[in-house]
Amino acid sequence: MKHHLLSSADLARDDAVLVLDTAAELLSLADRPIKKLPTLRGRTIVNLFFEDSTRTRISFEAAAKRLSADVINFSAKGSSVSKGESLKDTALTLEAMGADAVVIRHGSSGAPHRLANSGWVRSSVVNAGDGTHEHPTQALLDAFTMRKHLGDLDAKRVTIVGDVLHSRVARSNALLLSTLGAEVTLVAPPTLLPVGVETWPVQTSYDLDTSLDKCDAVMMLRVQAERMDAAFFPSAREYSRRYGLDDRRFKRLPEHAIVMHPGPMNRGMEISADVADSARSVIVEQVSNGVAVRMAVLYLLLSGADLSRTDPTASDSTKPEVVS
């Protein structure tokens, strides 16, 4: 593992598999009477959230606490950020407090990269979602959930449907799943596919029905009303008819296929309530898997010798990458 987790592209196949295997062992912790490990005792993890979030922040907080780390939650509302403090000054404050890891969510794409590479902080930086760029831990938990249900992801077919243009989840998933050998198809109206999508390691389609017959997992993306600043589709009703996962389309899926959604859902819009509550929907399981996956990420980033602060050439040859 590198010192930071900023993008799914940072993860080589071996790194990604290590995270998923570690998460698989940590998942059993949830069934034990004492849901705590002493591994990160005395370490401080800051959750730096400039954007609203429920499940991601709670998930990171639970993960850090189960590893016995001290957690400081920082949300932009009610902090000095609302008085105009810059990211740099906030970062310097965190550095002075001795944070070992910063989990950052920010509305601007690239903010975690800036934090990690500016020299403001020495701590590990974990991207918990930046603008419309990436959300690597979500991709890891999605891959983990798929692996649990489908086995090895090599040559598995995954269809990601919806607002790819604004979706950091789609980008991170496309990168990670193709690293793991899966075949990813993005399905969206032409207006909601980003410029340059042809350079991604994926296939694209404008038609949902044709890609449903053979897929192993279908992931519905949220229609992000807060980012819909232009007329991307004529009406919500039309979008739902053409790209929503309703009962009719659900019946076309193969028997073993699973239905995923990163949440929060717009029931009746991109996914019907019956499909969301069906036995093949793993949406609730995605949340509990998220804690195990984030524990694995924090463990692998923080528990080892901190090679970045010493001599990088002395690092273990199996984990050569230190500075991102």
Partner 1 sequence: MSSASRSHDHTAASREVIDASDIARALTRIAHEILERNKGSANVVILGIPTRGVPLAARIAAAMANVEGVEIPAGSLDITMYRDDLRLHPARALEPTDIPAGGIDDAVVILVDDVLFSGRTIRAALDAVNDLGRPAAVQLAVLVDRGHRQLPIRADFVGKNLPTSLSETVRVTLSEYDDNDGVVISNTNVSRGSS
Catalytic residues: 55-56, 83, 105, 135
Minimum CB separation of residue 311 from partner 1 in Å reads: 13
- Residue 54 CA to residue 6 CA, distance in Å, equals 20
Q: How far apart are alpha carbons 241 and 177 in whole angstroms?
A: 28
Q: Determine phi and psi for 132, rounding to 5 degrees.
A: -105, 25
Report DSSP state, residue 279.
T
Widest CA span in the chain? 59
Q: Supply the minimum distance, in Å, between the C-beta of residue 14 and partner 1.
A: 10
- Shortest distance (Å) from residue 303 CB to partner 1: 5
Q: Which is nearer to partner 1, 38 or 78 (CB)?
A: 38
Is 28 a binder of partner 1 (CB under 8 A)? yes
Q: How far is the CB of 144 from partner 1 (least distance, A)?
A: 14
Query: Rounded distance, CA 59 to CA 293, Å?
Result: 9
H-assigned helices in the chain? 13-27, 55-66, 87-97, 111-117, 136-150, 168-179, 208-212, 236-243, 247-252, 273-276, 283-302
Write the binding mask 251 to 290 for partner 1: x where contact by CB under 8 A, - elsewhere: ----------------------------------------
| From 37-45, 80-88, 176-184, 277-285, span contacting partner 1 (CB under 8 A) | 37-45
Report the site for partner 1 in 40-69 (rule: CB under 8 A). 67
Give the closest residue to 11 by CA, choosing from 134, 119, 154, 93. 134
**Nearest CB to partner 1, comparing residues 123 and 173:** 123
* 22 near partner 1, rule: CB under 8 A: yes
Among 97, 303, 310, 312, binds partner 1 (CB under 8 A): 303
Q: If binding is defined by CB under 8 A, does position 99 make contact with partner 1?
A: no
Q: How many angstroms separate the CA atoms of 284 and 212, rounded?
A: 22
Q: Which pair of structure tokens corresponds to residue 54?
A: 């429920």
Interface positions with partner 1 (CB under 8 A) = 1, 18, 21-22, 25-26, 28, 32-34, 36-39, 67, 299-301, 303-307, 315-316, 318-319
